[in-house]
Amino acid sequence: AQTVTQSQPEMSVQEAETVTLSCTYDTSESDYYLFWYKQPPSRQMILVIRQEAYKQQNATENRFSVNFQKAAKSFSLKISDSQLGDAAMYFCAYKVTSGSRLTFGEGTQLTVNP
């Protein structure tokens, strides 16, 4: 079974600074997708960024970027120029290309200090 592990239950960052959230996963598949979701206090899940495993180039969305290391099965999220609105729970997720099962990690609670 696929597993997703986020080893940092909590992280904090100063406003305008950069923070990196870690995620590792375990799979025997070669084709899959990886996602980072954000869950603010409203508890509404919001997609932050996605990465296709077949793409070597790391995905970027404005201030959010990933470091995808396929061989190491690592998928970290970097948030640059952190803003107060970035404070939320962040979840890493995995989905195999050939199916629908979507597996999440335990989450990292990010605090942004003014």
In this structure, what token pair is assigned to residue 21? 């959230």
Q: Mask: binding to another protein, 85-104, rule CB under 8 A, as x and -?
A: ------x-x-x-xxxxxxxx
State the Cα–Cα distance between residues 35 and 47, nearest whole angstrom. Answer: 7
Which CB atom, from 78 or from 95, has the smaller least distance to another protein?
95
- Contact call for residue 84 and another protein (CB under 8 A): no
Size of the site for another protein (CB under 8 A): 26
Q: Do β-strands 32-39 and 88-96 pair in parallel, antiparallel, or remain unpaired?
A: antiparallel
Q: Are 71 and 61 in contact (CB under 8 A)?
A: no
| Residues at the interface with another protein (CB under 8 A) | 1, 6, 9, 33, 35, 37, 43-45, 47, 50, 52, 91, 93, 95, 97-107
